[in-house]
Amino acid sequence: QSALTQPASVSGSPGQSITISCTGTSSDVGSYDLVSWYQQHPGKAPKVMIYGVSKRPSGVSNRFSGSKSGNTASLTISGLQAEDEADYYCCSYAGGSTLVFGGGTKLTVL
């Protein structure tokens, strides 16, 4: 069970849109629409931003959206704001009642 692959860092200017990819295999991301995304600010616990590939929990801004194609899931943040600067992690069901996280992506708002 290997970690999902995410870019180490992405950046964007306020108001722009960015996309973070999360690449797995046909055994995890590719087989299940059970990908979730988490935002983590320094020293804080993660917070779910997207679940079920593209669903937003109540209270999460509609600037956050998710999608999936094949073995790769993506998180898009539109209208970047300074408060979006954080680490982002994807997580997928991997079969056999197991879960796997991505390595994390540091988002910098320039």
Residue numbers at the binding site for another protein (CB under 8 A): 1, 3, 34, 36, 38, 45-48, 51-52, 55, 57, 89, 91, 93, 97-104
Residue number, 12 or 37, with CB nearest to another protein: 37
Residue number, 19 or 103, with CB nearest to another protein: 103
Structure tokens at 2: 């290997």
CA distances from 45 to 10, 14, 39, 40, 86 (A): 21, 24, 9, 6, 11
Instruction: Please state the closest distance from residue 41 (CB atom) to another protein, in A.
Output: 12
Contact between 1 and 97 under an 8 Å Cβ cutoff? The reply is no
Residue number, 17 or 98, with CB nearest to another protein: 98
Instruction: Please state the closest distance from residue 16 (CB atom) to another protein, in A.
Output: 25
Instruction: Please state the closest distance from residue 14 (CB atom) to another protein, in A.
Output: 26
> How far, rounded to the nearest angstrom, does the alpha carbon of residue 102 sit from its chain's CA centroid?
8
Residue number, 90 or 109, with CB nearest to another protein: 90
Question: Across-strand partners of 44?
Answer: none
Query: In which residue are the tokens 């180490």 written?
Result: 8
